[in-house]
Amino acid sequence: MGLTIPERYGGADAGYVAYALAVEELARVDAGTAVTLSVHLMVAGAILRLGSDEQRNRYLPQLAGGDTIAGFALTEPDAGSDAAAIRSTAKRAPDGGFALRGRKQWCTNGGYAGVTLAMFRTGVPGAKGISAFLVDNALPGIVVEKTTEKLGIHTSNTVDLAFDDVAVPAGAVLGAEGTGLSNALSALTTGRIGIAAQATGILAACLDASVKFAKEREAFGKPIAAFEGVSFKLAQMATDLEAARLLTWRAASRCDRGEPFAVEASQAKLFASTAARKHAAEAVQIHGGYGYTTEFPVERYYRDAKITEIYEGTSEIQQLIIARALLGRIE
């Protein structure tokens, strides 16, 4: 739980390559658990980069030890990819603090988080009027309105949170007031390394299961692995796995070296998530009728893979980031 948190706060200070390795291995077994860790460390990274000494000393030791789980709350019913459209507000209180009001949707870890990184509007409409807050989930006025039932990643907690005049001190603001959206997008950039690693882990699990089944399952007197219709699927699956893994490691290593990595993280997430979804379907196909049953794990990999193309920036958003890096902003 403290992989990327410095040792002085009780973490391992292992860096983002180690983080990618850990998330991949967790996702190879259970993708929901992997994203729980990924979001937890994404928030910890934001506190480390942007937080005050008081915020770091308060939260990072708890997060590093796993005593507190971190959650993330950005999306709203009318604000998804267009995050600048959020309507939840933070009104200045007489004591200098803020009163938080609004509804947040699809908050990862939100049902059991001890602290949530949440975005609220403190100023004018648009991106520059949004501020980031570190909110203790035990505060009065925070209500889990519903737990979302999902296609996959069932072991990842996803909830809608209501904030009804939640009183927070001025010290709850993470970074400068009005920089919340850029702070959220910065956090999501590192988070995309985690989602790329998650997708890579799902893909690795698909390959493991498919190779095993193809060697054991016989048809027409021989293992189905002997047929090119199956073996070529496995060959492409293995190749895309290595490509996804190396793209993820490249982004992670650039992050560890302090080099720009936003485009590399988007490329890793775009490729790995597409490959995971594609090859999870192929894994089900290789398993035939068995793949459509809960007797084998590939149906779960199939359900888990799709979300990696959606959260922490859809595939279309990743393409937009990559295209703008190539072409600049074209209106």
Annotated active-site positions, please?
Answer: 312
| Measured distance CA(331)–CA(325) in Å, rounded | 14
